[in-house]
């Protein structure tokens, strides 16, 4: 989120990926708004092009936040009943500028905790539009939407690694302190003698990667 703070401070021109990061940052305080990345790969005039937006779900309706030189390839109001309707609307917009949609990558919902160390899952589902065909493409989009709803219903999966880490560090300290309470008065140290301080174990962060 440091990148998003820098963007709001400097107010410099940004591209579509930076707009997604900024959208996540600005909507972190809206717990009823679910956010997930949607990226597109298109083909036009011998070249491939990539674009990404932040898909949103509010009140059971889908929309998107994003930035593009074309008005119909960025912001979409949360008015689409299904995820497939939203993605197909983007496909139609690409068709109006003679781009052929080749692939769609869908991520999972992003945590609203700005201090979470969970990584953003950018491509939970990778859909090859031509290989799947129209009907299977729709089915895969709705399958991904169901997966997101199930994950939200389960409380976004397992607890944040940040919370687990705190429990792992604190529980041994509690276990060590209990024998001191059971010591008799005669076994206690003299008042002038100080107990040597034990070095605190530093958490191992090698297994985690800070989310952007």
pLDDT tens, position by position, 123-159: 999 999 999 999 999 999 999 999 999 988 776 544 4
For 38, list phi and psi in degrees, rounded to 5.
Answer: -130, 120
Binned at pLDDT 50, 70 and 90, residue 211 comes out as very low
- Asked about 16 being catalytic, the answer comes back as yes
Residue bearing the bigger pLDDT, 55 or 206: 55
Give 167's Cβ-side CA count (13 Å radius).
6
pLDDT tens, position by position, 61-96: 999 999 999 999 999 999 999 999 999 999 999 999
Identify whether 28 is part of a domain: yes
Task: Output the six-digit token pair for 117.
Answer: 């160390």
Tell the residue number behind the tokens 């944040």, with chain if given: 160
pTM over 0.95: no
Task: Output the six-digit token pair for 126.
Answer: 């990778």
Are the beta carbons of 111 and 156 closer than 8 angstroms? yes
Rg (CA), the chain: 24
- Asked about 178 being catalytic, the answer comes back as no
- Alpha helical stretches, state H, 160-200: 161-182
Are the beta carbons of 112 and 166 closer than 8 angstroms? no
Catalytic residue among 39, 51, 99, 144: 51
Catalytic residue among 68, 124, 125, 160: 68
Mean pLDDT of 47-53: 97
Q: How many independent structural domains does the chain possess?
A: 1
Give the separation between CA 28 and CA 34, rounded to whole angstroms: 10
Does an H or E element contain 152, and which? helix 134-153
Tell the residue number behind the tokens 């949607």, with chain if given: 38
Identify whether 179 is part of a domain: no
Give the separation between CA 182 and CA 24, rounded to whole angstroms: 51
Give the separation between CA 57 and CA 10, rounded to whole angstroms: 29
Identify whether 18 is part of a domain: yes
Binned at pLDDT 50, 70 and 90, residue 178 comes out as very low
* Domain boundaries, position 136: 2-153
Task: Output the six-digit token pair for 73.
Answer: 């390839």
Identify whether 22 is part of a domain: yes
Identify whether 177 is part of a domain: no
Identify whether 174 is part of a domain: no
Identify whether 167 is part of a domain: no
Of 77, 37, 38, 50, whose CA–CA distance to 61 is shortest?
77
What integer pLDDT is reported at residue 9 of this predicted model? Answer: 63
Identify whether 35 is part of a domain: yes
Give the separation between CA 180 and CA 69, rounded to whole angstroms: 68
pLDDT tens, position by position, 6-44: 666 666 667 899 999 999 999 999 999 999 999 999 999
- Asked about 180 being catalytic, the answer comes back as no
């Amino acid at each position: 989120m440091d990148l998003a703070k820098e963007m709001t401070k400097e107010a410099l021109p940004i591209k579509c990926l930076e707009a997604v990061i900024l959208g996540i940052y600005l909507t972190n305080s809206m717990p009823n708004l679910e956010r997930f990345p949607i990226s597109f790969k298109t083909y036009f005039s011998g070249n491939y092009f990539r674009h990404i937006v932040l898909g949103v779900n509010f009140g059971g309706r889908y929309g998107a936040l994003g930035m593009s030189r074309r008005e119909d390839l960025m912001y979409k109001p949360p008015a689409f009943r299904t995820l497939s309707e939203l993605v197909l609307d983007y496909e139609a917009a690409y068709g109006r500028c003679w781009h052929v949609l080749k692939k769609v990558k869908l991520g999972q919902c992003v945590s609203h905790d700005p201090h979470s160390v969970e990584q953003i899952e950018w491509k939970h589902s990778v859909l090859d539009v031509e290989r799947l065909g129209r009907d299977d493409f729709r089915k895969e989009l709705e399958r991904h939407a169901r997966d997101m709803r199930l994950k939200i219903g389960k409380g976004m999966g397992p607890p944040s690694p940040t919370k687990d880490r705190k429990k792992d560090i604190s529980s041994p300290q509690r276990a060590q302190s209990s024998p001191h309470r059971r010591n008799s008065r005669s076994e206690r140290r003299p008042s002038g003698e100080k107990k040597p301080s034990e070095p605190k174990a530093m958490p191992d962060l090698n297994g985690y990667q800070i989310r952007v």
